[in-house]
Amino acid sequence: MSQPSMEEYVSVRRLGKANVTLVSEGILPWPPDLQAPEEEWRAAMPEADEDGAIPLGVHTALIQLGNATVIIDPGYDDPGSPWDARFAAETPGMQRTSGLTTALAGLGVLPESVTHVLITHTHGDHFCGVTRQENDMLVARYPNARHVIGRGDWDNNPERDDPASDLAQRLELIDRLGLLDLVDVEAEVAPGVAMIPAPGETAGHSIVRVRSEGSAFFYLGDLYHHSCEVAHPGWVPADRDPVAMQASRERLTTEAVPCGATLVFTHEHFPPWGRIVVSGSGHRWERG
Ligand SMILES: [Zn+2]
């Protein structure tokens, strides 16, 4: 595996007093199967291959604000871990960077210093890094952090009953250690940092807002998977809740567009910074 330099997979911005660091975990080929006429989604995603797969970025975020050190979506387990080997075997074409743990070490951030781990939803590409392998055991990677997810992704989630699932092996461990918190309404988890329900991708899907000195940043998780969904908010992948997702997208644009908030969705290309701007009677994604 090639070892990219930090500049190739880590991007940092100062927003107010918040330090926002984005770390790419790599590239994940995936067919979003947007519920729209194929001719239209192919025109909007010209990079799609013949199966409709597009190369997704996968990004985690580190927020440092006041006394809080917050990881949003801890991403994958480490390169070279048994989880990584299995995931690579199941995901042809996956490419990885050196990963979040290496990036944090390079930034001088100790796992023990992380105060919060905010998980937008319980799809494996977003949370499996909550644990790390120690000999034959999984242990909490951020042992002093409160881990927060939307209640809708926890209560009655059938994956918890499958002992082989990542949810059962990893987040159940975090819960047994007393480190898991559930939210079902907007919640300020640290001064200036809020989890906001945004269902659709999953029942408990949440986004994260950071406010500091007039600047606003949102980490959107999978509220969008590709930037074309901003211009087409009714385009939703199969097996999602299209009504809930469209309503969540509308709430986001209502809040984020007037204040020019800086936005990141997990699967944008690196570097994933952008914003949503008015375009005609709707909106569009603007990178940068
Ligand atoms: Zn995702």
Per-residue pLDDT of the chain (288 residues; tens, 9 = 90+): 455 688 899 999 999 999 999 999 999 999 999 999 999 999 999 999 999 999 999 999 999 999 999 999 999 999 999 999 999 999 999 999 999 999 999 999 999 999 999 999 999 999 999 999 999 999 999 999 999 999 999 999 999 999 999 999 999 999 999 999 999 999 999 999 999 999 999 999 999 999 999 999 999 999 999 999 999 999 999 999 999 999 999 999 999 999 999 999 999 999 999 999 999 999 999 999
Q: How far is the centre of ligand 1, averaged over its atoms, from the C-alpha of 168 (Å)?
A: 19
Q: How far is the centre of ligand 1, averaged over its atoms, from the C-alpha of 8 (Å)?
A: 21
Counts of helices then strands in the chain (DSSP H, E): 8, 17
| C-beta separation of 60 from 34 below 8 A | no
H or E element in which residue 229 lies: helix 228-231
Q: How far is the centre of ligand 1, averaged over its atoms, from the C-alpha of 221 (Å)?
A: 7
Q: How far is the centre of ligand 1, averaged over its atoms, from the C-alpha of 120 (Å)?
A: 9
Q: Which two tokens stand for residue 174?
A: 């975090």
| C-beta separation of 255 from 196 below 8 A | no
Give the count of beta carbons closer than 10 Å to the beta carbon of residue 201.
27
Phi, psi of 36 (to 5 degrees): -155, 160
Q: How far is the centre of ligand 1, averaged over its atoms, from the C-alpha of 114 (Å)?
A: 22
Q: How far is the centre of ligand 1, averaged over its atoms, from the C-alpha of 153 (Å)?
A: 14
Q: How far is the centre of ligand 1, averaged over its atoms, from the C-alpha of 125 (Å)?
A: 6
Does residue 83 form part of some domain? Answer: yes
Q: Which two tokens stand for residue 130?
A: 């909550």
Does residue 1 form part of some domain? Answer: no
Cα dihedral value 213, 214, 215, 219, nearest 10:
100
Q: How far is the centre of ligand 1, averaged over its atoms, from the C-alpha of 267 (Å)?
A: 7
Does residue 226 form part of some domain? Answer: yes
Domain extent for 18 = 6-287
Beta strands in the chain (DSSP E): 10-15, 18-30, 54-65, 68-72, 95-96, 116-118, 131-134, 137-140, 146-150, 180-183, 187-190, 193-197, 206-212, 215-219, 262-264, 274-279, 282-287
Q: How far is the centre of ligand 1, averaged over its atoms, from the C-alpha of 170 (Å)?
A: 17
For the chain, the domain total comes to: 1
Q: How far is the centre of ligand 1, averaged over its atoms, from the C-alpha of 226 (Å)?
A: 11
CATH number of the domain within which 77 lies: 3.60.15.10
Q: Which of 83, 123, 118, 121 is nearest to 99 (CA)?
A: 83
Q: How far is the centre of ligand 1, averaged over its atoms, from the C-alpha of 265 (Å)?
A: 9
Q: Which two tokens stand for residue 160?
A: 């918890």
Does residue 163 form part of some domain? Answer: yes
Q: How far is the centre of ligand 1, averaged over its atoms, from the C-alpha of 188 (Å)?
A: 23
Tell me 167's DSSP state. I
Q: How far is the centre of ligand 1, averaged over its atoms, from the C-alpha of 213 (Å)?
A: 30
Rg over alpha carbons for the chain, rounded to the nearest Å, is: 18
